[in-house]
Chains A and B, each alone.
Chain A
Amino acid sequence: MLELHDITAGYDRKAPVVRNASLTVAPGEAVGLLGPSGCGKSTLARVAALLHRPESGTLLLDGEPVRHWRHRAPRDLRTAIGVVFQQPRLSADPRLRLIDLIAEPLRATGRRDEVPDRITELTPAVGLTPDLLDRRPHEVSDGQLQRACLARALVLRPRWLICDEMTAMLDASTTAALVAAVENYRAATGAGLLAVGHDQTLLRRWCDRLLHWDEVAAAGMGKLPRASGLREPSVVPPAT
């Protein structure tokens, strides 16, 4: 299980962008989290991906409470989660060739010897061709770079995948191809998925269960009238 309980998080203590958010993803389940842009859903996704430390609340990964985030998170937890973001150009190191971009997590975790096999498997799985692997990000299209970012997210065979607006910048065919690559990986490994986005049609088609932001979290900053005091705790959606 990936469980987020009563998470409050943000960048300014006085105005958290996420308040009292809770959701769970069961192993093998695909959960879509739908919300307008700026609602805080990406911040919650970063908390779940161990990339942003919440101010309060708990994250349980397969029953184990997470106590440290970012580089302080224990390696076995970090390698259990793969993340793909909206903008590949912001998340990919522009100096790295695609092959190094994909292989880097293996090298960083001392699994260098797996590189050739994983590259051979993942290149066709995400729809890349071997000739593209030697190029740097500026020499490929947004769609090709996002395919490489997905391969990187899968390279350590994570049990959990977090896709934050993975396809928002992409055309219909590349979107369908990337979602198919994620689903093939999940079918083969039983990984769970949290897909965050604003496209209801897409998430409905992709996921087993769809959550709306306002049933996951209390109203965010600016929307919560100060005078009304504390909100009711948000409802934890039942896990299937």
Chain B
Amino acid sequence: MTVTDRPPVLSVRGLSVRFLMPGGRRIAAVTDAHFEVAAGECLALIGESGCGKSVLASALLGLLPSNAQSAGQARLGELDLLAADERTLTRTVRGRLIGLIPQSPAAHLTPVRTVRSQLEETVGALTDARGRTAVRSAAESAAERAAFPADHLDRHPHQLSGGLAQRAATALALVGDAPLLLADEPTTGLDRDLVDHTVDELRRHVDDGDRALLMITHDLAAAERIADRVAVMYAGRIVELANTEAFFGTPGPRHPYSRGLLDALPERAFLPIPGMPPELGDLPDGCAFAPRCEQVTDACAALPPTTSHIACHHPHVPEDLRA
């Protein structure tokens, strides 16, 4: 189902993450996730806060806390990110293989230093550029690629608007020329115009065909605008993986949770899904969505297998396919 025919940049197979809590409690933050992202493609991982999407991102970056256990594979080229040691993660993964575009650029940038000095430091750490002039021009070209204005390079982060801070953070993520960009809620708290602008710029870095983009977001409008495919997460599992156009347009989503999520949008029915998501430390044996699902039957007491990219016993069947 990839949009391009290229081999995937990132291939995730059976990724699970468990947190071991005091008292022996286990939190199933991510369970059996499978997906791929190819160069030139953007996959948006969508879901509400606490569904496991940020934990999944941390697992890819090797940033899980010490009480976490992960299983499965996450292949980036020849490397399995889940098996990599800290030294490999620091020296070759973060920045070089994965460029991270953070949720809050203001928190990601160092407040007391200018954008230029932070870019130059990153250039020094991640590229072969050596010598003042070479480092300076590499930093300037990273800024230019992120559309960060050259005459603002000597400013400090607090002197930048939200949009420019986001571009500065993006420039930092682009320095290492990483094949995978990972954007973690890059539009949180931004005005709609700025959201559109930010995702359009991110898209541009994918459209040149060399990079893959994995965007984690709860903003459905941003996902619709930028992604080729969307993966919907609920209670730690990917419950639906679909092409963006089919998902937001016709025939629409097929998993009852995805359908509920779209129906909640103010431009649609504006109706909430009843109830709340389950506790990840106390998941039912069968489908975790069952207590909130209108389609639930006895079959749902058993865990639904993922068939044709949907984990549901009774997925929605579009009208024209009904006999």
Name A residues whose Cβ lies closer than 8 Å to a Cβ of B: 36-38, 127, 129, 141-144, 168-177, 179-180, 198-202, 204-206
Contact = CB atoms under 8 A, between A and B. Distances in A.
Given A144-B276, A171-B218, A172-B265, A198 B48 contact: no
Given A37-B190, A142-B49, A168-B189, A129 B264 contact: no
Contacts of B220: 172
19 contacts: A37-B162, A37-B189, A129-B276, A142-B49, A143-B48, A170-B49, A170-B218, A171-B218, A172-B218, A172-B261, A172-B265, A173-B48, A174-B48, A175-B272, A179-B270, A180-B271, A199-B266, A200-B192, A205-B266
A201 B266 CA distance: 6
Interface of B: 47-50, 162, 188-193, 218, 220, 260-262, 264-267, 270-273, 275-277
Main secondary structure of the interface of B (DSSP, over half): loop
A172 B266 CA distance: 8
B189 A174 contact: no
B306 to A, nearest CB: 22
A169 B272 contact: no
Contacts, number: 77
Nearest to A178: B272
B266 A202 contact: yes
B273 A198 contact: no
Contacts of B270: 176, 179, 205
B266 A206 contact: yes
By Cβ-Cβ distance, the 4 closest A-B pairs, closest first, are A177-B272, A171-B48, A205-B266, A176-B272
- Which residue, of B162, B193, B265, B266, has the highest number of chain A Cβ atoms within 10 A? B266
Contacts of A37: 162, 189-191
Given A143-B48, A172-B265, A176-B271, A36 B276 contact: no
Contacts of A143: 48-50, 276
Nearest to B50: A141
